Amino acid sequence: TNENNQFRDKKIIITGAAGTIGEEICYQLIKEEPSDLILIDKNEIGISNLNQKLNKLKLKNTKIKLILANLCFKSVIKKIVGEVKPDFIFHAAAYKHVDLVEDNIISSINNNIVGTYNICSLADKYKVNKFTFISSDKAVRPTNVMGATKRVAEKIVYFFSLKSKTVFSTVRFGNVINSSGSVIPIFRNQ
């Protein structure tokens, strides 16, 4: 066992847990034996599929709770974070398909910016130990709405990092192989 395991016996929230990146974070954290994994997503089919996959793992040391919720509804998220009082939050929830985001700007602003602000403010309010935001390489000098919303979300995370006791950090991913929207599933379908 890893003596430096910061996640063992801790409570962890993952937003966007049913997405490709959120799901992978979930699998990596399960190995570290947290006491509780609270998996939030607004995608009913995605969370149902994730539940089926996790049920096959026969976990002994980690309680898993799947929550169907939208980060834009702050009162709902506040109830979850207030009850759980997590040690860590991994925020992977986002609309990231460039073409869809371009065609659905208002929904994307709500999801990527308002949702990020809501979860950051709650991480601060409930003194979460560490908050990690999963961003995109498209946030660097953005040329599309998706990149711009992720850039604004990064700025929100940075704003909270300046004033909070919670440690806020951002990780930028490029194209994640085999993630939804990446080229490999497209080639496979063709």
How far apart CA 69 and CA 41 sit, in angstroms, is 6
| Residue 156 near residue 117, CB atoms below 8 Å | yes
Q: Is 65 tagged catalytic?
A: no
175-188: burial string, b at 16+ Cβ within 10 Å, e else: ebeebebeeeeeee
CB half-sphere exposure, 116, CA atoms < 13 A:
27
In sequence order, what E strands does the chain have? 11-15, 36-41, 63-68, 88-91, 130-136, 167-173
Largest CA distance in the chain: 49
| Residue 121 near residue 159, CB atoms below 8 Å | no
Exactly one of 138, 155, 163, 165 is catalytic; name it. Answer: 138
Residues annotated as part of the active site: 138
